[in-house]
Amino acid sequence: MDLRSPSSELLARFASIVGAGNAITEAAEIAPRLIENRGLYHGKSSMILKPGSTEEVSAILKLASETHTPIVPQTGNTGLVGGQTPSEDGTAIILSLERMNRIRDIDPLANVMVVDAGCILADVQKAAESVHRLFPLSLGSEGSCRIGGNLSTNAGGTAVLAYGNMRQLCLGLEVVLPTGEIWDGLRRLKKDNTGYDLRDLFIGAEGTLGVITGAVLKLFPQPAGHQVAFIGLPSPDHALRLFEKASNLCGTALTGYELMPRIGIDFTTRHIANVRDPLPTVHDWYVLIDISTNDSAETAEAMMHNLLEQGLESGLIEDAVIASSVAQQKALWHMRESMSDAQKPEGGSIKHDVSVPVSKIPSFMAEAERRVLAAMPCARICAFGHLGDGNIHYNISQPVGADKAAFLGRWREMNAIVHALVLEAGGSISAEHGIGQLKRDELAAIRSEIEIDLMRRIKRSFDPAGIMNPGKVIALS
């Protein structure tokens, strides 16, 4: 595609759409938007545009298509695969939706909320709480990530087990196409069987097909009862068997089931402020269980006690503690959600966001450890995640005292080892973080020729000028 660096005259035309105060050209202000969260990607851009309305987004994309100017949509800049980072050639303009942060409407009776795509996730959660409702998406970055990015990456988080990911939490979208046309699909219907589901094309597309500017989100009743327990056990196999008991006993009340290794607890207690080991003795593995019920606190309490009693009687559990207050519940979740950040002070970390069938998690963990340590004997494996939905963050921290750059230089080698095993198990190399730049070429290598061709046809159909987030998700040649 003939993508051009914008001239000063063209930059002025773009700036006139949003107003000079919302067109950022100072290098120091642009710099934080050019770096991916883990520092893997560094881009260049001469301008950030901050539109305040869907109409302004439309005018920006219309001009971009006419002038073949690349556009990189960006919301909270919390992505982990480089999907929000412009290329190093400096041709792209960053489109930030941070000004588009209105809660447009809340309908607690229908259990829906209509929001701008620039709304911060935590603000959406609070808005739901204000009408005694729950928006269940929960992420470690929820204080800074925004709904448009959550939708564009089909974010998952810790409550997928009960509520699904963003694809299941969204009823309708408003999208600006690369041509500047506006698709108003803000439908509030749970049943709408009228032709192709255009909504699903844009969710998970990472800004390569258009810009999501608004969404209809599903809300749920706030739980009447809530229990959180932290459990020590010997192995992932024990955790899987306990999960089966929890599923049978709790059904849809089981809202979270997180698996963590001992090394992850060591990292968090060492590096995260106000985090302590919840249990008095050391265990090889841990599970965080979250139960939420709609009828009463007593029901949730009875479920949790019954589950722990059965787990202890069957030898699956070595020790456990139940949070006795909301503050303790939050503290346990904070420890789990801090596990990625706790790896940073330990040096380089090679990340994998993978999913495998739940029943295969123990065998996957064991074989992955064997293969990784065979290639790098002193590596420290910190594999944790959402056992209930099969999503494991298989992270590898550098050996103690190793050279960080040399370790990170083996990123692709470690990816190949872990991802090969994931594919053998019938899993996915991207569970919830997306493809972006990081996994674009690998996606093309593992998907069938017809799947890649269909993706390219969709991309060309929606974005014939090739301006939308070029170089991400799917290469056109």
Question: How would you write the pLDDT of the chain (477 residues) with one tens digit per residue?
Answer: 566 679 999 999 999 999 999 999 999 999 999 998 778 889 999 999 999 999 999 999 999 999 999 999 999 898 888 889 999 999 999 999 999 999 999 999 999 999 999 999 999 999 999 999 999 999 888 999 999 999 999 999 889 999 999 999 999 999 999 999 999 999 999 999 999 999 999 999 999 999 999 999 999 999 999 999 999 999 999 999 999 999 999 999 999 999 999 999 999 999 999 999 999 999 999 999 999 999 999 999 999 999 999 999 999 999 999 999 999 999 999 999 999 999 999 999 999 999 999 999 999 999 999 999 999 999 999 999 999 999 999 999 999 999 999 999 999 999 999 999 999 999 999 999 899 998 999 999 999 999 999 999 999 999 999 999 999 999 886
Instruction: Please say whether the beta carbons of 146 and 126 come within 8 A.
Output: no
**Coil, helix or strand for 318?**
coil
Q: How far apart are CA 266 and CA 213, in angstroms?
A: 41
Pairing status of strand 93-96 against strand 48-49: parallel
The reported pLDDT for the residue numbered 5 is: 78
What pLDDT shows up at residue 4? 67
By three-state DSSP, how is residue 302 classified?
Answer: helix
**pLDDT recorded at residue 280:** 96
Q: Give CA separation, 201 vs 27, 193, 196, 337, 455, in Å.
A: 35, 15, 9, 29, 10
CA 170 distance to own-chain centroid: 15
Token pair of 295 as six digits: 């009828």
Q: How far apart are CA 265 and CA 319, in angstroms?
A: 15
Contact 347, 271 (CB under 8 A): no
For residues 97 and 89, the answer to whether their CB atoms sit within 8 Å is no
Q: Which of 438, 439, 458, 442 is nearest to 450 (CA)?
A: 458
Its pTM stands at 0.93
Q: Which pLDDT score, from 0 to 100, does residue 476 have?
A: 82
The count of other CB atoms within 10 Å of the CB of residue 453 is 11
Cβ–Cβ < 8 Å for 214, 172:
no
Residue 3 has a pLDDT of 67
**DSSP secondary structure code for residue 85 in this structure:** P
d(CA 284, CA 267): 14
Contact between 249 and 307 under an 8 Å Cβ cutoff? The reply is yes
40-67 burial, b for 16+ CB within 10 Å, e for fewer? bbebbbbbbbbbbebebbbbbbbbbbeb
Residue 176: predicted pLDDT: 98
Backbone φ and ψ for 384, nearest 5 degrees, come out as -150, 170
